[in-house]
A and B are shown apart, each in its own frame.
Chain A
């Protein structure tokens, strides 16, 4: 069984400030981990993914995440928030390539000018 917990359903940051979104997972096998972004009334766009290679993963739009096995975490960061980063972010886990995804509850990011 697999599960994902995202700490904080809402995060508010000032433009230019650090964005930190927390994700913890559980998985019975080495996990594949993903971060997705969703804008209102749209589907999901992949930001980045971890598939057992480098533990620090760089994605699109300046985001990166670090896989920490000892902490079962995959937190997402961006050094400097932009107004366009305001969206819903989902962390997800799968138990291998091509398998179904289990999503966390999501974190809504608000960027203040």
Chain B
């Protein structure tokens, strides 16, 4: 149980375009989802925390107008990278949890590799 999926698994887009990444909890309802970014050979950095039905909370230094997060349902959160640039190329990973479920553990998706050309 507790499976999180991401779509797409990889995407290539041109500079200046927008790309949407989906994060879904497949077999549980996630009241909270987190979005992380991981540059090559580096650790995961939290970008934002998303609670269903409310605005996302962004970490310091993350542009909320560039990285749009929508958590419209208990099983789906989306991250839209607007006006993407090559420096946005990264591995984006989401995680999901529901307090009280399995020790409040975060379940991670498989990640989405974004390459901006």
Residues of A whose CB lies within 8 Å of any CB of B are 36, 41-46, 49, 51, 90, 97-98, 100-106
Contact = CB atoms under 8 A, between A and B. Distances in A.
Interface of B: 4, 6, 32, 34, 42-46, 49, 91, 93, 95, 97, 99, 103-106, 108-111, 113
15 contacts: A41-B113, A42-B110, A43-B4, A43-B93, A44-B93, A46-B105, A49-B103, A51-B103, A97-B103, A98-B99, A98-B104, A100-B34, A100-B46, A101-B46, A105-B42
A59 to B, nearest CB: 12
Contacts of A101: 34, 44, 46, 95, 106
A43 B43 contact: no
A103 B38 CA distance: 11
B44 A103 contact: yes
Chain B binding surface, main DSSP class: strand
A104 B97 CA distance: 21
Given A42-B111, A43-B109, A100 B49 contact: yes
Of residues A42, A45, A102, which shows the largest number of chain B Cβ atoms within 10 Å of its Cβ? Answer: A42
Given A45-B108, A98-B104, 10 more contacts: A42-B111, A43-B4, A43-B109, A43-B110, A43-B111, A90-B43, A98-B32, A101-B106, A103-B43, A105-B42
Given A43-B110, A43-B111, A44-B93, A102 B46 contact: yes
A43 B113 contact: no
A97 B34 contact: no
B108 A43 contact: yes
Of residues B46, B93, B99, B108, which shows the largest number of chain A Cβ atoms within 10 Å of its Cβ? Answer: B108
Contact of B97 (A44, A45, A98): A98
Nearest to B112: A43
Contact of B43 (A45, A97, A100, A104): A104
Contacts of B103: 49, 51, 97
A106 B43 contact: yes
> What 3 pairs between A and B have smallest CB-CB spacing?
A97-B104, A43-B108, A98-B104
A43 to B, nearest CB: 4
Of residues B6, B49, B105, which shows the largest number of chain A Cβ atoms within 10 Å of its Cβ? Answer: B105
